[in-house]
Amino acid sequence: MKKSICLYFQVHQPTRLRLYRFFDIGKDSHYYDDFANRTILRRVADRCYLPMNAQLLEMIKAGKGKFKLAFSISGSFIEQCERHCPEVIDSFRALAQTGCVEFLSETYYHSLASLSSATEFKHQVLKHKALIEETFGVTPVTFRNTELIYSDAIGAAVYEMGFKTMLTEGAKHVMGWRTPNYVYSGAKAPKLKLLLRNAPLSDDIAFRFSDRSWNNWPLTSEKYVSWLQAAEGEIINLFMDYETFGEHQKAESGIFDFVKCLPAAVAAAGDFEFVTPKEAAKKHASVGALDVPDPISWADEERDLSAWLGNELQNDAFSKVNSLNEKLGILNDQQLWSDFGHLQESDHFYYMCTKFFSDGAVHKYFNPYDTPYEAFINYMNVLSDFSIRVEDALKTSGTKAVEEDRIVVVKPKNVPGRGKRK
């Protein structure tokens, strides 16, 4: 049996907040930097999404069913594309129609809901699943959590939602002597199969490809396939941000040519075949359970949650936004639910990270703020206004109930229309 190569790309753009000052609170409830969101999306579409999708489509057609890959695309990304770059969605639809691309399920807002609320987590997953079905005509059967965040408890919750396969990180402190190049199973959900990212081989493309100081530069497809051949195991999972191609690694670095030549180099070696996550889980049996009592992720050297919840600023902001969940559950306000979802995007907390050493450069590259403290202040100003809107809506809702001379008691899961909020 040939070994497997599983290619997976994360596609997401955050809903960036505008500069929101203290004096805007209670006066202006438009929170988003529309110009930045539109401009950045357009730029990345031209550099990455459109040319890479076109190239992948050609590769799939040339491969006649042998070249396969997977995407997870956040709801926030799809919303932005529908507003500013609908042609990007069309290019993903063309890939979906080939039958060689698997679209994964995730949280709608690329959020940390799996760490805060079981109800909100499930809601966002089901909402995202419905969006993928509507947009691409396929039903997701594999799950990847935001930033590959996983724990035994999260895995069990994902399995209960009907997913049999999940992606996560092959974190060294969890793996120990084991290799990520096998399929594993969940400790609390034995029937949940886990595909683990091979971090070194993924990062050779995502981070080191254009680094001329790297002792393996330049990286050719033949050289890379030789590394795949040397790797122990049954499957090599190459997971990375889709923006790697053309945005993080510029076109002039040769990244597009590298990807274009990869299938031919793999075929020449004769040792591997490309599979989607769904196919990988069907092809390979689990070699054992993976115990992950504390959450892991694919971020930074620690592979934990410290990129988003590693300091007091982040934890304070995270706690305050999630404290509004119960109050919102009483309301049936589509706009409030939409803003609440976007305020949960993990990117906002990532911008507040205070790491200045090993991973500081990476955080700085992705951060639109000069300092994490500016990110925190801006976010909390927005959250203050949002909280006022929630309180005002609750008062209005209470007044209506009194006028109708009846008592209204509504649990979050029973709120009409909540499942349709966008």
The two three-digit tokens of residue 173, written as one number = 């402190």
Angle at 387 between CA 385 and CA 393, to 5 degrees: 105
3-state DSSP call for residue 220? coil
Strands 165-169 and 193-197: parallel
Q: Strands of 134-278 (E only): list them.
A: 142-144, 165-169, 183-186, 193-197, 235-241, 272-274
| Residues 96, 175: Cα–Cα separation, whole Å | 34
| Residues 122, 288: Cα–Cα separation, whole Å | 27
Kindly name the residue from 102, 106, 120, 147 that is annotated as catalytic. Answer: 147
Give every CB contact of residue 217 below 8 A, 6+ residues apart in sequence.
208, 210, 211
Q: Residues 104, 144: contact at Cβ < 8 Å?
A: yes
The two three-digit tokens of residue 211, written as one number = 């680094």
Residue 192 backbone class (left: φ over 0; alpha: ψ -120 to 50; beta: rest): beta
Q: 395 to each of 24, 89, 331, 335, 399, how far by Cα in Å?
A: 22, 40, 11, 17, 6
Give every CB contact of residue 272 below 8 A, 6+ residues apart in sequence.
2, 3, 4, 5, 225, 228, 236, 266
Q: Residues 378, 368: contact at Cβ < 8 Å?
A: no
| Residues 329, 126: Cα–Cα separation, whole Å | 17
- Partnered with residue 167 across adjacent β-strands are 144, 195
**Helix (H) or strand (E) run with residue 101 in it:** strand 101-103
| Residues 307, 280: Cα–Cα separation, whole Å | 30
Helix axes 372-403, 334-343, angle to 10 degrees: 160
Tell me whether residue 120 is one of the annotated catalytic residues.
no
**Catalytic residue numbers, as ranges:** 147
